[in-house]
Amino acid sequence: MTTADAKKKIASFIKDTGNKGLGAEYRATDEKWLFVSYSILDELELPTTEALVNYAEDILAMGELMSEFERTWFALLADGTLAILGDHGDYEAADATATGLGYDAIWLVCGNDAAQWADAINSQRSDSMTQRNR
Protein backbone atom coordinates (compact mmCIF):
# COMPACT_ATOMS: atom_id res chain seq x y z
CA MET A 1 0.00 0.00 0.00
CA THR A 2 1.34 3.42 -0.93
CA THR A 3 1.60 6.27 1.57
CA ALA A 4 -1.11 8.15 -0.35
CA ASP A 5 -3.45 5.15 -0.07
CA ALA A 6 -2.70 4.84 3.64
CA LYS A 7 -3.47 8.54 4.16
CA LYS A 8 -6.81 8.11 2.38
CA LYS A 9 -7.59 5.17 4.64
CA ILE A 10 -6.76 7.22 7.76
CA ALA A 11 -8.86 10.19 6.61
CA SER A 12 -11.76 7.92 5.72
CA PHE A 13 -11.61 6.17 9.09
CA ILE A 14 -11.66 9.43 11.02
CA LYS A 15 -14.50 10.83 8.91
CA ASP A 16 -16.59 7.65 8.83
CA THR A 17 -16.44 7.03 12.56
CA GLY A 18 -17.12 10.64 13.44
CA ASN A 19 -13.89 10.82 15.40
CA LYS A 20 -13.15 14.50 14.77
CA GLY A 21 -12.53 14.95 18.48
CA LEU A 22 -10.75 11.64 18.91
CA GLY A 23 -7.83 12.05 21.24
CA ALA A 24 -8.98 15.23 22.96
CA GLU A 25 -8.54 13.52 26.31
CA TYR A 26 -4.96 12.70 25.38
CA ARG A 27 -3.86 16.25 24.54
CA ALA A 28 -2.48 16.83 28.05
CA THR A 29 0.81 15.17 27.13
CA ASP A 30 2.65 14.54 23.89
CA GLU A 31 3.22 10.95 24.96
CA LYS A 32 -0.50 10.24 25.21
CA TRP A 33 -1.24 12.17 22.00
CA LEU A 34 1.19 9.96 20.08
CA PHE A 35 -0.61 6.93 21.50
CA VAL A 36 -3.83 7.99 19.76
CA SER A 37 -2.08 8.31 16.40
CA TYR A 38 -0.43 4.92 16.79
CA SER A 39 -3.74 3.35 17.89
CA ILE A 40 -5.42 4.49 14.69
CA LEU A 41 -2.61 3.03 12.63
CA ASP A 42 -2.79 -0.23 14.58
CA GLU A 43 -6.55 -0.47 14.12
CA LEU A 44 -6.19 0.09 10.38
CA GLU A 45 -3.26 -2.35 10.24
CA LEU A 46 -0.97 0.31 8.78
CA PRO A 47 2.77 0.64 9.40
CA THR A 48 3.76 3.20 12.03
CA THR A 49 5.96 5.28 9.76
CA GLU A 50 6.79 8.84 10.70
CA ALA A 51 4.82 10.15 7.71
CA LEU A 52 1.65 8.30 8.69
CA VAL A 53 1.92 9.17 12.39
CA ASN A 54 2.36 12.85 11.47
CA TYR A 55 -0.57 12.67 9.07
CA ALA A 56 -2.84 11.10 11.69
CA GLU A 57 -1.82 13.81 14.17
CA ASP A 58 -2.45 16.57 11.63
CA ILE A 59 -5.86 15.33 10.58
CA LEU A 60 -6.95 14.84 14.18
CA ALA A 61 -5.75 18.34 15.07
CA MET A 62 -7.61 19.77 12.08
CA GLY A 63 -10.76 18.02 13.28
CA GLU A 64 -10.26 19.53 16.75
CA LEU A 65 -10.05 23.03 15.23
CA MET A 66 -13.23 22.46 13.26
CA SER A 67 -14.90 21.17 16.37
CA GLU A 68 -13.99 24.38 18.19
CA PHE A 69 -15.40 26.52 15.37
CA GLU A 70 -18.62 24.49 15.37
CA ARG A 71 -19.06 25.59 18.99
CA THR A 72 -18.74 29.29 18.11
CA TRP A 73 -22.13 30.94 18.01
CA PHE A 74 -23.30 34.13 16.32
CA ALA A 75 -26.41 36.26 16.82
CA LEU A 76 -28.21 38.13 14.07
CA LEU A 77 -29.47 41.25 15.81
CA ALA A 78 -32.64 43.18 15.07
CA ASP A 79 -30.59 46.04 13.59
CA GLY A 80 -29.05 43.65 11.03
CA THR A 81 -25.62 43.31 12.61
CA LEU A 82 -24.01 39.97 13.35
CA ALA A 83 -22.61 39.60 16.86
CA ILE A 84 -20.09 36.97 17.91
CA LEU A 85 -21.30 35.21 21.05
CA GLY A 86 -18.28 32.94 21.45
CA ASP A 87 -17.75 29.30 22.36
CA HIS A 88 -20.93 27.57 23.54
CA GLY A 89 -21.96 23.96 23.65
CA ASP A 90 -25.49 24.44 22.40
CA TYR A 91 -28.25 26.81 21.37
CA GLU A 92 -29.52 27.32 24.90
CA ALA A 93 -26.10 28.44 26.18
CA ALA A 94 -25.68 30.83 23.25
CA ASP A 95 -29.19 32.21 23.84
CA ALA A 96 -28.41 32.78 27.51
CA THR A 97 -25.28 34.74 26.55
CA ALA A 98 -27.16 36.85 24.01
CA THR A 99 -29.84 37.61 26.60
CA GLY A 100 -27.23 38.36 29.25
CA LEU A 101 -25.50 40.81 26.93
CA GLY A 102 -28.82 42.57 26.29
CA TYR A 103 -28.82 41.74 22.57
CA ASP A 104 -32.08 41.93 20.65
CA ALA A 105 -31.27 38.69 18.81
CA ILE A 106 -33.64 37.47 16.15
CA TRP A 107 -31.56 34.48 15.06
CA LEU A 108 -28.75 32.40 16.56
CA VAL A 109 -26.43 30.41 14.34
CA CYS A 110 -23.51 28.06 15.00
CA GLY A 111 -20.12 28.49 13.33
CA ASN A 112 -20.56 25.90 10.60
CA ASP A 113 -23.90 27.34 9.50
CA ALA A 114 -22.52 30.89 9.62
CA ALA A 115 -19.55 29.79 7.50
CA GLN A 116 -21.88 28.19 4.95
CA TRP A 117 -23.92 31.40 4.80
CA ALA A 118 -20.77 33.46 4.31
CA ASP A 119 -19.61 31.12 1.54
CA ALA A 120 -22.97 31.38 -0.24
CA ILE A 121 -23.02 35.17 0.06
CA ASN A 122 -19.42 35.55 -1.09
CA SER A 123 -20.06 33.19 -4.00
CA GLN A 124 -22.98 35.32 -5.15
CA ARG A 125 -20.94 38.49 -4.69
CA SER A 126 -18.15 37.04 -6.84
CA ASP A 127 -20.62 35.99 -9.54
CA SER A 128 -22.18 39.48 -9.59
CA MET A 129 -18.82 41.21 -9.85
CA THR A 130 -17.70 38.89 -12.64
CA GLN A 131 -20.88 39.62 -14.63
CA ARG A 132 -20.47 43.39 -14.13
CA ASN A 133 -16.91 43.32 -15.42
CA ARG A 134 -17.92 41.72 -18.72
- Collapsing DSSP states into helix, strand and coil, what is residue 108? strand
- d(C-alpha 75, C-alpha 108), whole Å: 5
If one counts the domains in the chain, the total is 2
Question: Tens digit of pLDDT for each residue in 4-51?
Answer: 777 777 777 666 555 444 545 444 455 555 556 667 777 778 887 788
Q: Do residues 47 and 76 share a domain?
A: no
Domain extent, residue 19, equals 3-69
pLDDT at 127: 67
In a shared domain, residues 64 and 78: no
Output the CA angle 59-60-61, nearest 5 degrees.
Answer: 90
pLDDT greater than 90 at residue 2: no
Residues 97-117 have a mean pLDDT of 91
34 or 113: which leads in pLDDT:
113
What integer is the mean pLDDT of 76-98? 90
Give me the amino acid identity at 7. K
